[in-house]
């Protein structure tokens, strides 16, 4: 730890400064909404660092974020849905995704992530505008829709540490209370983050470099938590989410190109 602190001035590169801004922004988003932080940080961070570096580094940071949300807002978790539906179905796809991440080349993973992000942003933006336009209530997904959505989300989470978009889509159809929505997803992310970290440690993908990056992101993470909690009940949700979708769309296009 002392060696790392001594080396901070020399390793604080332009890329790390940009990554700090990305982490601050992404964690503010995650604290406000309960999702989106990891996909933003990895999609934008992948423009600065290889996938095999940025994913383990951001997963380590995500452990702190999700642990905070669960400890602070855990009383709103819908344990029945989480334990009987979400975790089992996503858990089936998670090992498949982890195997693909261990085997997949970095460039292919970047292009794949970019394509997924673009598709989800376009779909979610259209749905979000429709939802706030005239339909404020949606029925839960049926059994087969839930299986496809959560199983695929597990695969994507195993690859990119961010099955968020698909799991979030399921959650928007399942939970009407935003506190239950945020807390249940936070518990899900915490459980899967611990599994992913165990996998990265076993495969040697958590290294001194990834831990150094994670450590240097802590100030940005703390700032994101403070600002996110402050604006949680004060910001216009529609404008905020549209801004996030626009940012993700730009990141997805850059990843593909």
Sorted by sequence, the CB contacts under 8 Å of residue 111 that are 6+ apart come out as: 255, 256
Q: What is the pLDDT of residues 178-194, one digit of tens each?
A: 788 888 988 998 998 99
Q: What is the pLDDT of residues 95-149, one digit of tens each?
A: 988 888 877 666 676 677 677 778 777 776 776 666 555 544 467 888 898 998 8
> What pLDDT score does 207 carry?
92
State the Cα–Cα distance between residues 31 and 105, nearest whole angstrom.
Answer: 32
> What pLDDT score does 164 carry?
63
Best CA proximity match to 36, nearest among 145, 102, 120: 120
Low-confidence ranges of the chain (pLDDT < 70): 1-12, 104-107, 109-110, 113, 124, 127-138, 162-165, 233, 235-241, 243-245, 247-248, 251-252, 254-255, 257
């Amino acid at each position: 730890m002392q060696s790392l602190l001594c080396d901070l001035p020399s390793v604080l590169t332009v890329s790390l400064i940009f990554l700090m801004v990305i982490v601050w922004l992404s964690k503010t988003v995650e604290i406000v909404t309960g999702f989106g932080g990891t996909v933003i940080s990895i999609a934008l961070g992948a423009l600065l660092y290889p996938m095999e570096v940025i994913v383990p580094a951001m997963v380590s940071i995500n452990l702190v974020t999700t642990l905070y949300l669960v400890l602070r807002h855990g009383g709103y978790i819908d344990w029945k849905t989480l334990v009987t539906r979400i975790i089992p179905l996503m858990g089936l796809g998670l090992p498949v995704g982890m195997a693909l991440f261990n085997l997949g080349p970095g460039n292919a993973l970047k292009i794949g992530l970019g394509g997924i992000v673009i598709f989800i942003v376009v779909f979610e933006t259209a749905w979000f505008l429709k939802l706030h336009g005239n339909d404020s209530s949606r029925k839960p997904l049926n059994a087969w829709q839930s299986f496809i959505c959560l199983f695929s989300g597990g695969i994507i989470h195993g690859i990119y540490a961010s099955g968020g978009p698909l799991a979030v889509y399921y959650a928007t159809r399942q939970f009407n209370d935003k506190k239950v929505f945020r807390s249940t997803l936070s518990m899900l992310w915490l459980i899967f983050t611990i599994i992913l970290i165990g996998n990265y440690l076993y495969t040697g993908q958590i290294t001194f470099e990834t831990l150094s990056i994670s450590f240097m992101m802590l100030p940005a993470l703390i700032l994101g938590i403070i600002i996110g909690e402050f604006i949680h009940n004060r910001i216009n949700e529609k404008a905020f989410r549209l801004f996030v979708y626009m940012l993700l769309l730009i990141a997805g296009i850059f990843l593909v190109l």
